Structure 1
Amino acid sequence: MTFSGFPDEGLVFYEGLEADNSKTYWTEHRQAYDEHVRRPMQELADELAPEFGTPKLFRPYRDVRFSHDKTPYKTHQGAVLHLDGRGVGSVYVQVSADGLRVSGGCWRLQPDQVERYRRAVADDVQGPRLEAEVASLRGRDFSIDGDQLVRTPRGYPADHPRVALLRHRSLHASQTWEPADWLQTRQALERVRDAWRHCAGLNQWLADNVGATTAPPDRRR
């Protein structure tokens, strides 16, 4: 089916889930989740997949094994799309009672990937290339986030011109919109697609300079 927007009923569903994050609420409103949240998200992801890669919708259940917060359900629905063979660099979309969020980049890097990332940031050609991509995204009202060290990583000078980027252990750009009428229309797809296209340069830089991890599966944490 063709994506036609995120119905307001989906946001109302999440408002209720935030107030009552329980199995009882979930069971009573599961149909609303399936019809007004998961279905349009799947339609959006499937329609954009030819350009942005294989889609994966995240499960609505939280992993509470190692969390102090034992509420069982996520209060948002997310999906990630990744081009085959890229190694690293993907795009993400999330809908919740707060509205719509889109992102691009990497959220978790293995040690060998972090090492290659930092070498590239320090490089006199690739470093400025990333710096320009980040500046362009900031100029388009993207926030630049990711796991970061407090101090400069070992082996690099504290006064390095790209020290802020060197501190990153992951790097992604995000843009958010509060609920509005356009969210219930095809304009939502257009905004997601445009934002992901703006992230293409960042994802290409990550693919060119970081790539897939070489660590064996049992060492990936």
Structure 2
Amino acid sequence: MSRRQQGSADVKTFDGFPAEAFRFYQDLEKHNTRDHWHRHKDTYDSCVREPMEALAAELGEKYGAVKVWRPQRDVRFAKDKSPYKTYQGLTAGSADSVGYYLQLDAEGLRLGGGYHGLSSEQVERYREAVDDGRSGAALQRIVDELTADDWNLIGERLKTKPRDCPADHPRVELLRYRSLAADRVHRVSDGIDGEAAVRLVRDGWDALGPLVDWLDRHVSTTGGS
């Protein structure tokens, strides 16, 4: 990976993700052990971690604070004791559980944006905004446009409608969500160069911008609602 000078700091430039990055996770899915990890840690550092950190620095110019997540799993309360995540995650603008994310795994690159892990207060704010004729209709238009463009709506959902919600509510399906996001997988397991990867992430996150902005405005306890 090349480097460029930025003031007095020696900053790595983002040259993309090589095919080895995706093969690393293909192998890790089969051999998720500490011994395997440490035997291939050089590949993780050079093909995954360093490019992801360089990409985070580049994205930060537009999206603010960008965080590269650690590869270790928290297995304290998990039945699955596999020590490592089978993906590398990156998030932006994630204050108060809202923002964008990027995930690199064996399949390729997964882009997403929305809210995760809402508090009870935030769920209530969300439902009030969805129930409202103006803000709820705006969200419906946003998710309709996203799903028409092959984005998948994801999030924690009730099995049935919320209590006291009319069965014929025009947005009953949206009211079932307790957290809401959209994501899409781009299969680039043969590798992707830096310019194409940055364009892919920016175009994807920009498409998700209306959803993230709506959630930030109406659900975030620090937003503009």
Q: Which moved more, 1:114-123 or 1:151-160?
A: 151-160
Instruction: Supply the distance in 2 between the matched residues of 1:158 and 1:173 (Cα, whole angstroms).
Output: 25
Instruction: Supply the distance in 2 between the matched residues of 1:39 and 1:188 (Cα, whole angstroms).
Output: 15
Q: Secondary structure at the match of 1:36?
A: helix
TM alignment of 1:114-153, pairs within 5 A: 114-153=123-162
The C-alpha deviation readout for 1:175-206, integer Å capped at 9, x for no partner, is: 10112556244201101110000111011111
Instruction: Report what 1:212 is aligned to.
Output: 221
Instruction: Report what 1:58 is aligned to.
Output: 69
Q: TM-score, normalised by structure 1?
A: 0.91
Aligned partners of 1:76 and 1:94 also within 8 Å:
yes
Q: Percent identity?
A: 44
Q: Secondary structure at the match of 1:125?
A: helix
- Equivalent of 1:94, from 84, 103, 109? 103
The C-alpha deviation readout for 1:117-168, integer Å capped at 9, x for no partner, is: 0000000100000001101111211001110001111221121010000000
Does residue 26 of structure 1 match 2:62? Answer: no
Instruction: Supply the distance in 1 between the matched residues of 2:64 and 2:94 (Cα, whole angstroms).
Output: 4
Calculate the aligned-residue CA RMSD, in Å: 1.5
Instruction: Supply the distance in 2 between the matched residues of 1:77 and 1:88 (Cα, whole angstroms).
Output: 18
* CA apart distance, 1:171: 0.4
Contiguous gaps of at least 5 residues in structure 1: 214-221
| Structure 1 pair 181–24 and aligned structure 2 pair: CA distance change class (3 A) | closer
Does residue 113 of structure 1 match 2:115? Answer: no
- Equivalent of 1:191, from 197, 200, 216? 200
| Structure 1 pair 62–42 and aligned structure 2 pair: CA distance change class (3 A) | same
Instruction: Supply the distance in 1 between the matched residues of 2:38 and 2:190 (Cα, whole angstroms).
Output: 28
The C-alpha deviation readout for 1:15-51, integer Å capped at 9, x for no partner, is: 2211211111111111111110011111111111122
Q: TM-score, normalised by structure 2?
A: 0.89
Aligned residues: 211
* CA apart distance, 1:53: 2.1
Contiguous gaps of at least 5 residues in structure 2: 1-11
Instruction: Report what 2:81 is aligned to.
Output: 70
Aligned partners of 1:52 and 1:83 also within 8 Å:
no
Instruction: Supply the distance in 2 between the matched residues of 1:146 and 1:99 (Cα, whole angstroms).
Output: 21
Instruction: Supply the distance in 2 between the matched residues of 1:176 and 1:48 (Cα, whole angstroms).
Output: 19
- Equivalent of 2:175, from 137, 161, 166? 166
Q: Secondary structure at the match of 1:91?
A: strand
Q: Secondary structure at the match of 1:132?
A: helix
The C-alpha deviation readout for 1:62-106, integer Å capped at 9, x for no partner, is: 11122221111111100100176xx45200001011111000101
Instruction: Supply the distance in 1 between the matched residues of 2:86 and 2:74 (Cα, whole angstroms).
Output: 13
Letter in 1 for 2:65: T
